[in-house]
Amino acid sequence: MNDIHDNHQKLRVGILFGGKSAEHEVSLQSAQNVLAALDKTRFDPVLLGVDKQGGWHLLEQPKLPIGNTPAVGFNPQLLEGVDVVFPLVHGPLGEDGSMQGLLEIISIPYVGCGVLGSAIGMDKDVMKRLLRDAGIKVTDCHAFTEGQQRTIDVQSLVAELGLPLFVKPANMGSSVGVTKVDNKADLLAAINLAFRYDRKVLVERAVIGDEVECAVLGNEQLKVSVPGRIACTTDFYSYEAKYLDRDNTVLEIPAKLAKQVSQAAQATALQAYKVLGCEGMARVDMFVTERDDIVVNEINTLPGFTKFSMYPQLWEASGLSYPDLITKLILLALDRSQKRQKLLTTYVPTKPAL
């Protein structure tokens, strides 16, 4: 692997995209934007596409659909000569620790959170439990596994959590499979839809307030962006509002918040990032209530990198350009990898203290 401080030899960056999840198309948009913004004076891109059947492809450009070139199951030789991977495979098998574990096993540095932070961030139920234990306010919810699906008491859920409710797959992003439920009659159908995407489903109390997001960057030395606010004319920030119908969505960056509220949102984002063991990057999504309470909705450890995505836009507003952000993330990945390589892998007996 090239030295991260060697400016005379370009690093080969594997841009990894596609995947077997419902966020496949979003991933391709992210890859196109990262490829366009990558500093070609420092990095040579290697494009690695994963199709919806799990086949891997070496490509000349991110394209839809993936699959016009011969596919192979994963082979470590595909990454031969690659110095670092920039994973942009959103959703399950991409940002849930699976891809990160694969890259760890074959000793390839990669951008973003490690196996544990990725897995925790993907499972909204586990994430909320850890944040709650750390004293961070989260949205109230109940989680149900596939085996509990037939025994869910809709009446009790509505009585406890009220209406409206949000139903979502525990392990999914980009609002895929999410339904806002305004009446009890629609709740069961929303639960059944969410179970089509995951084996665990959350039913959440709706929080009245502004949707605010902060971007966090770093390994040990952390930086947090200015907050951004999402304003939708639709019921909620759905998949369509994020990627298909932008006319009904306004991103207010930076968010027009009182200074103390803005600082509280940033502090909460940093705290959540640390509690969940994140590294590299993450976007923390929160609500600011009428009483200016900060309530964490979720964390996204592999946020979108499309031209509409909040994470790069937040850093642009905070003084870090899109190309410089990509470079910083790559260098953070290499730095973390080098530190990991220094850890002992064999037992070394130590002398007892005198």
Radius of gyration for the chain, computed over Cα atoms and rounded to the nearest angstrom:
21
Catalytic residue among 27, 210, 279, 283: 283
23 is catalytic: yes
246 is catalytic: no
Q: What angle do CA 249, 27, 270 make, to 5 degrees?
A: 70
Helical (H) or strand (E) element with 310: helix 310-317
Catalytic residue among 19, 23, 322, 336: 23
Catalytic residue among 304, 311, 322, 336: 304
SS3 319: coil
3-state helix, strand, coil in the chain (%, to 5): 35, 25, 40
174 is catalytic: yes
Q: Which amino acid is at 316?
A: E
297 is catalytic: no
- According to DSSP, residue 318 is labeled T
Catalytic residue among 300, 309, 318, 337: 300
Q: How many CB atoms lie within 10 A of CB 101?
A: 14
Tokens representing residue 175 in the block = 């609002």
243 is catalytic: yes
Q: Which residue has the tokens 């004319």?
A: 233
Q: What distance in Å separates the CA atoms of residue 315 and residue 218, rounded to the nearest whole number?
A: 13
Catalytic residue among 33, 174, 238, 309: 174
30 is catalytic: no
Catalytic residue among 298, 322, 336, 337: 298
Q: What distance in Å separates the CA atoms of residue 136 and residue 128, rounded to the nearest whole number?
A: 9
300 is catalytic: yes
218 is catalytic: no
Q: How many CB atoms lie within 10 A of CB 151?
A: 7
Phi, psi of 232 (to 5 degrees): -120, 145
The candidate with the shortest Cα–Cα distance to 281, out of 227, 219, 225, is 219
Catalytic residue among 112, 285, 311, 336: 285
Q: Name the β-bridge partners of 86.
A: 15
Tokens representing residue 338 in the block = 């080098």
Catalytic residues: 23, 174, 243, 283, 285, 298, 300, 304
